[in-house]
Homo-oligomer: A and B are copies of this chain.
Amino acid sequence: MALRHAVLAALLHGEYSGYQLAKAFDIGVANFWHALPQQLYAELAKLEKDGLITGRQVIQETRPNKRLFQVTDAGFAELETFAAAVSKPSFIRDDLLVKIHAVDRIDTSPLIEQLEERASAAEARAGLLTSLLDTMRGALDEEEYLRTGERIGPYLTCLRGLSFEREHRAWCLRTAAVLRERRQARAER
């Protein structure tokens, strides 16, 4: 009962096909929700059945046909109810952190590599989010945009994502450096 609302929120700023939604879940929505395309297609079907979204067929000539979805009034009402209810605590799941927790008992060299790869990935994502923010903001500076802009929801969640990626990168680099130094120290003994 929760992917539902993430999909509704993502569908709020225009019509999307399942395929386009999947992209959105890889970029902007990834800042607060993670879902695979199969889940999205299934959820879109359920949402339509429940009348929270409506789909319309778009026939294309050079591309496969697609269905575009938009939120109905019932969908907006559902989001409103959801927003007023208490939020579940946010949750994180990270394989790499599990490994780092176990670092005192396992070989660190694959971990150092993974940390550095992660740092690069986080940097790349931070860059992507930065340019996304630039685009949304247009000519305005951030304060002005947040005061007067019309669609600040995605902007705000991207800001959170950006700060997350930057911090994640910094932590990965720091941790990799610590593990490298300890390796070296052990090798010299």
Task: With both chains docked as a complex, state the minimum distance between the C-beta of A94 and any C-beta of chain B, in angstroms.
Answer: 4
* Cross-chain contact B95 with A153 (CB below 8 angstroms): no
Question: Which B residues lie within 8 Å of A80 (CB)?
Answer: 106-107
For window 68-109 of chain A, which residues contact chain B by CB distance below 8 Å?
76, 79-80, 82-84, 86-107
* Cross-chain contact A101 with B185 (CB below 8 angstroms): no
Q: Specify which of B32, B107, B156 is in contact with A93 (CB 8 Å cutoff).
A: B32
Q: Specify which of B6, B98, B104 is in contact with A151 (CB 8 Å cutoff).
A: B104
* Cross-chain contact B146 with A93 (CB below 8 angstroms): no
Question: Which B residues lie within 8 Å of A6 (CB)?
Answer: 98
- A50 contacts partner chain B, Cβ-Cβ < 8 Å: no
Nearest to A82 among chain B residues (CB) is B99
- A49 contacts partner chain B, Cβ-Cβ < 8 Å: no
Question: Which B residues lie within 8 Å of A31 (CB)?
Answer: 92, 97
Question: Which B residues lie within 8 Å of A99 (CB)?
Answer: 5, 9, 82-83, 87
Q: Specify which of B110, B121, B147, B157 is in contact with A84 (CB 8 Å cutoff).
A: B110
Q: Is the interface of A mostly helix, strand, loop or mixed?
A: helix
Task: With both chains docked as a complex, state the minimum distance between the C-beta of A29 and any C-beta of chain B, in angstroms.
Answer: 8
Question: Which B residues lie within 8 Å of A182 (CB)?
Answer: 147, 152
Do A83 and B107 contact each other (CB < 8 Å), given the known contacts A95-B2, A156-B178? yes
Q: At the interface with chain B, which of A53-61, A126-134, A159-167?
A: A159-167
A3 to B104: give the CA distance in the assembly, Å.
Answer: 19
Task: With both chains docked as a complex, state the minimum distance between the C-beta of A82 and any C-beta of chain B, in angstroms.
Answer: 7
Task: With both chains docked as a complex, state the minimum distance between the C-beta of A123 and any C-beta of chain B, in angstroms.
Answer: 15
A96 to B32: give the CA distance in the assembly, Å.
Answer: 9
Task: With both chains docked as a complex, state the minimum distance between the C-beta of A176 and any C-beta of chain B, in angstroms.
Answer: 11
* Cross-chain contact B10 with A101 (CB below 8 angstroms): yes
